[in-house]
A and B are shown apart, each in its own frame.
Chain A
Amino acid sequence: MLEVQGLSVTYPSKDKPSIQNISFSLKQGEFVWLAGESASGKSTLMNCICGFIPQIIPADLKGSIIFHGKKNLEPLQLSRHITMVHQDPETQFCTETVEDEIAFGLENRCLSRRKIDKRIETTLRDLNCSELRYRELRTLSGGEKQKIAIASMLVLNPKVLILDEPTSNLDPISMNEVLNAIENVRRKSHDLTIILSEHRIGDLVEQIDRVLKLEDGGLSRDFQDLEQKNSIMDYSYPEYSREGVKDGETLLKIKNLDHTLDGKKILKDIDLKVRKGEIIALMGRNGSGKTTLVKLISALSEVHEGKIKIFDRVMDRSNKVQPYELGKRIGYVFQNPNHQIFENSLEEEIKFATKNFSKGGAKAKKWLKKITTEENLDEKTHPHTLSFGQKRRLNIYSSSPHDPEFLVIDEPFSGQDHQNALMIAKIMNDLWREGKTLMIVTHDLEFAKKFCTRAVVLKDGRIVYDGEPDSLKSVSGENEK
C-alpha cells in the first residue's frame, strides 16, 4: 500500500543527508514502531511520507514514496489518506476549542455541519473523551491535549496514521493515557496502518506488528519478532555512587510557601529543607507546580506568601531578590533548549554567564574543550545547528561555568532518547562530584532511584512525598494500582 524506495533527504543547512537510501513497504493495517535515537532521521522520514518534505519544509529529496501506485504526491492530495500527529500538540493546534480543532479538517473538506457534528461525536466516543468536547484547549492537561490532537486526525478517517513522539512531553500517567488511546484505536480499526515513532512505548509493544529501526539516517533493522522488540527497550541507568550526602549544611529552607497565579492556587503550604550535596528529584504530574516552585526558589518569580531562604538571602513579601543577584550562586536549566541559547558560537554561549558575572573563565575554557572533543564540534559552531541532544548538553554547560553551588535542571530528558539521557546524566553526575547541589525536575522514576538521593513529589501544589526515591512506587506519589 505504501512503498518507500531509495529515499534520501538533505536539508539546505546541512552538508550530509539526514536520511539515506531508505527502502521498505507497508501493508494495510500494519502497526509499525519506528524506533531509533533522536536525530536518527525518524521525523524526516515521517514528514516525507506525508509530503511535508519538500513542499512545506524545503529539502533536497531523492527517491520516491509511492502510495497506492501514485508517486510523490502533494501534501493536500495525501491529506485525504495520511495524517500525522506531532510531538507538541500546542504547536499543531490552530483553533481555541476542542470542537473547533476536531472540526477543522472536516470543515476544510466542506462536509455538511450535520456530518461534522456526527463525526466529532463518534471520534471522541472512540477515544473515551466525549466529556472534553466543549472545553477550551488551553484548559486541558497535557495528556488530554494529545488525545485531542489524535482525535483531530482520526476524525478524517485516514488510511495511515503517523504519530511523531506523541508522549515525549508528558508525565507517565498522561503518557499511559495516550498510549492506551492508541491501543484503543488499534483495537477498533484493524484496517488502519499506524506508524508510531516513540522512545518508550510500554505495554503497547504487545500490539506492534513490526519494528523499523533507524540509525544515523539509515534503516538498520526491520523485524517482526517480539523477542527482538524487547532487546531495543533497555532504559536502565548504571549505579551511581552516593556517599556523604546527609551531613551537608542547609542551603535552602522553604516555610509555608503558597503561590497563586491568575486566581488559581499553584502551590500550597510548601515546607522544604535542602542540604548541600543532595540530589533531589522533583516529581509529579504536568501542572502539579514543579516549575513554579523552582522558579520561586531561583527568584524568577516573586514570593507573595511564605518565605524562602536560600544561602543567606531571604525572599518573602517584603524582601525581593533580583535573579541576576542570585544567579551567581544558582544555575538554572530551562525546559526548552531554544529559549536559553543567546550567542552565535559555542564558545560565546558557554562564556555568556562568565562575562556577566566576571567569574569562571578557566572553567568555561575547560568545558568548551570537553564539549568540542566529545561531540566532535568546532568552537565557532553555531549553537542552533546542534542536534536536540547536543543543545541540551550545551544548556547544562552554559548554565554553570561560574560555579554556582545550586543547580536547578527542569526536565533534562524531555524529548531525549535513552542514549542522550545517559550522557546528560553523566554531566550532571560530574557536576555533583564537584560539590554542587542538584534539584532535577523529572518524570523518570528509574532515574530518580538510581541517580538521586531524595525524591520530592508534588500533587496539586502540595508535597505528597518527601523521602528515599527507592520507596517511591509511582511518579505521582501514590501507590500504584
Chain B
Amino acid sequence: MKNKINPVVKLIALVIGAVMVFLIDSVMILISFVLLLILLKVIYSVKGRFGRGIVFLVVAIFLAQVIFVPEGEVILDLWLFHITSGSLINGILISGRFFSLITMSWIFVGTTEPRDLSSALSNLGIPYRYSFLLIIAMRFAPIFQFELSNVQQAQKIRGLKIDKNVRGLIRSVRFTTMPLLYSAMSKVNTLASSMEGRGFGMYDKKTFLHPIRFTLWDAVLIIALLVFSFNVYYLNLLL
C-alpha cells in the first residue's frame, strides 16, 4: 500500500484535515472522523501503538474541559464537580481534535518515504537543497536517539541521579547538552564534506533515480478531497 499516493497529495490532505478538525463542531462528525483515521491506520498498517503518553494527554484534555470549563445545563452532580452538557461536548471536541491531529501526522509519516516526499516536492519546483533536508533529518533522528540513550546511561553508571522536578530537569539538560552537541558537531562537518564532496549543490537541478511526478490522477484526488471536505463542512453546519 505504501507509496501509491503522491506524498504531496498526502501533505495537502494533512493540511485540509487539520483545518477541518478545527472547523467541525459536531460531535458525531468528529467521532466518525476519528474512527475513519483509526481505520486508515490499521489498513495502512502504520507501525506504533497509541502509547501511554498520548492516551494520558487525550484523557487529561477531556477531563480538564469537563471539570474546569462548565457550560450549559448541569447533567450530573458529583460532590464538588458539576458536569454540564456543554463541557462534555467541548471535552469530546477538543480531545478528539488533538487525537486526530496526532493520528493524521502519524499516518503521514508512517506511509511516506522521505526520499519520495523530497522528490515530489522538487517536482513541484521546490529547490532540492531544501527538500533534501527532510531526508537528512530522518536519517539522523535515530542516530541522535541512540546517542542520547548512551549519554544518559553513562551519566547513570557514574552515579548521576536525576530527580523528577525542575532542578533535576535543569541538571539533566546541563549534563546532556554538551556531549550531544560535541558529537553532533563532529558529525556535521563529516556529513557536509561527504555531500559537497559528491557535488551536492553543483547545479540547480539534479536527477532523481526514483522520480515522483505530479500526475492528473493526483490533481483529481486533491479536487475530490476538497469537494468531500466542503460537503462535510456543510453537513456540520446543518447538524
Q: When chains A and B are docked, how far (Å) is the Cα of A175 from the Cα of B115?
A: 31
Q: Does A104 contact B (CB under 8 A)?
A: yes
Of all chain A residues, the one with the shortest Cβ separation from B162 is A324
Contact B197 A110 (CB under 8 A): no
Q: When chains A and B are docked, how far (Å) is the Cα of A229 from the Cα of B132?
A: 45
Q: Encode A211-254 as 1/0 by CB contact (under 8 A) with B.
A: 00000000000000000000000000000000000000000000
Q: Does A93 contact B (CB under 8 A)?
A: yes
Q: When chains A and B are docked, how far (Å) is the Cα of A334 from the Cα of B147?
A: 11
Q: Does B19 contact A (CB under 8 A)?
A: no
Contact A322 B156 (CB under 8 A): yes
Instruction: List the one stretch of B22-30, B77-85, B183-191 in contact with chain A.
Output: B183-191
Q: When chains A and B are docked, how far (Å) is the Cα of A96 from the Cα of B115?
A: 8
Contact B190 A323 (CB under 8 A): no
Q: When chains A and B are docked, how far (Å) is the Cα of A330 from the Cα of B157?
A: 8
Contact A398 B158 (CB under 8 A): yes
Categorize the interface residue count of chain A: 35 or more
Contact for B199 among A92, A97, A105, CB less than 8 A: A105
Q: When chains A and B are docked, how far (Å) is the Cα of A328 from the Cα of B160?
A: 11
Q: When chains A and B are docked, how far (Å) is the Cα of A78 from the Cα of B157?
A: 46
Contact for B156 among A90, A323, A336, A357, CB less than 8 A: A323
Contact A153 B207 (CB under 8 A): no
Contact for B206 among A110, A152, A327, A328, CB less than 8 A: A110
* Min distance, Cβ A75 to any Cβ of chain B, angstroms: 5
Contact B154 A340 (CB under 8 A): yes
Q: Does B54 contact A (CB under 8 A)?
A: no
Contact B207 A116 (CB under 8 A): yes
* Min distance, Cβ A82 to any Cβ of chain B, angstroms: 8
Categorize the interface residue count of chain B: 35 or more
Contact for B179 among A84, A152, A338, A402, CB less than 8 A: A338
Of all chain B residues, the one with the shortest Cβ separation from A99 is B209
In the complex, chain B residues whose CB is within 8 Å of the CB of A82: 197
Contact for A341 among B178, B192, B196, CB less than 8 A: B178
Q: Encode A88-108 as 1/0 by CB contact (under 8 A) with B.
A: 101111111101100111111
Chain B interface SS verdict (over half): helix
Contact B209 A342 (CB under 8 A): no
Contact A156 B198 (CB under 8 A): yes
In the complex, chain B residues whose CB is within 8 Å of the CB of A35: none
**Interface set, chain A 277-312, CB cutoff 8 A to B:** 295, 298, 300
Q: What number of residue pairs across chains A and B have CB atoms under 8 A from each other? A: 180
Q: Does B193 contact A (CB under 8 A)?
A: yes
Q: When chains A and B are docked, how far (Å) is the Cα of A367 from the Cα of B122?
A: 57
Contact for A117 among B179, B187, B209, CB less than 8 A: B209
Contact for B139 among A93, A105, A106, A324, CB less than 8 A: A93
In the complex, chain B residues whose CB is within 8 Å of the CB of A145: none
Q: Does A176 contact B (CB under 8 A)?
A: no
In the complex, chain B residues whose CB is within 8 Å of the CB of A428: none
Q: When chains A and B are docked, how far (Å) is the Cα of A205 from the Cα of B120?
A: 48
Contact for B161 among A80, A94, A298, A324, CB less than 8 A: A324
Of all chain B residues, the one with the shortest Cβ separation from A76 is B202
Q: Does A50 contact B (CB under 8 A)?
A: yes
> Which of A91, A96, A105, A326 has the most C-beta atoms of chain B within 10 angstroms of its own C-beta?
A91
Contact B199 A76 (CB under 8 A): yes
In the complex, chain A residues whose CB is within 8 Å of the CB of B147: 336, 339
Q: Does B153 contact A (CB under 8 A)?
A: yes
Contact A152 B198 (CB under 8 A): yes
Q: Does B150 contact A (CB under 8 A)?
A: yes
Contact B159 A353 (CB under 8 A): yes
Q: When chains A and B are docked, how far (Å) is the Cα of A112 from the Cα of B205?
A: 12
Contact for A79 among B157, B160, B196, B205, CB less than 8 A: B196
Q: Does B194 contact A (CB under 8 A)?
A: yes
Contact B208 A340 (CB under 8 A): no
Contact A295 B190 (CB under 8 A): no
Contact A57 B193 (CB under 8 A): yes
Q: Does B34 contact A (CB under 8 A)?
A: no
Contact A50 B193 (CB under 8 A): yes
Contact A47 B199 (CB under 8 A): no
Q: When chains A and B are docked, how far (Å) is the Cα of A214 from the Cα of B45?
A: 56
Q: When chains A and B are docked, how far (Å) is the Cα of A83 from the Cα of B142?
A: 27
Q: Does A320 contact B (CB under 8 A)?
A: no
Q: Does B43 contact A (CB under 8 A)?
A: no
Contact B199 A56 (CB under 8 A): no
Contact A111 B139 (CB under 8 A): no
Q: When chains A and B are docked, how far (Å) is the Cα of A339 from the Cα of B151?
A: 5
Q: Does A109 contact B (CB under 8 A)?
A: yes
* Min distance, Cβ B211 to any Cβ of chain A, angstroms: 8
Q: When chains A and B are docked, how far (Å) is the Cα of A57 from the Cα of B207?
A: 28
The 3 A-B residue pairs with the shortest CB-CB distance, nearest first, are A356-B159, A105-B198, A92-B194
A103-B209, A339-B179, A384-B178 known; 15 new pairs, CB 8 Å cut-off, are: A50-B193, A55-B196, A86-B193, A108-B200, A108-B203, A112-B207, A116-B207, A322-B156, A324-B159, A327-B159, A332-B157, A336-B183, A339-B147, A339-B154, A342-B160
Provide 16 A-B residue pairs closer than 8 Å at the C-beta atoms, listed in order of the A residue.
Answer: A52-B193, A75-B196, A91-B186, A92-B190, A105-B199, A107-B208, A111-B207, A152-B198, A153-B198, A327-B158, A336-B150, A338-B179, A340-B154, A340-B179, A356-B159, A399-B158
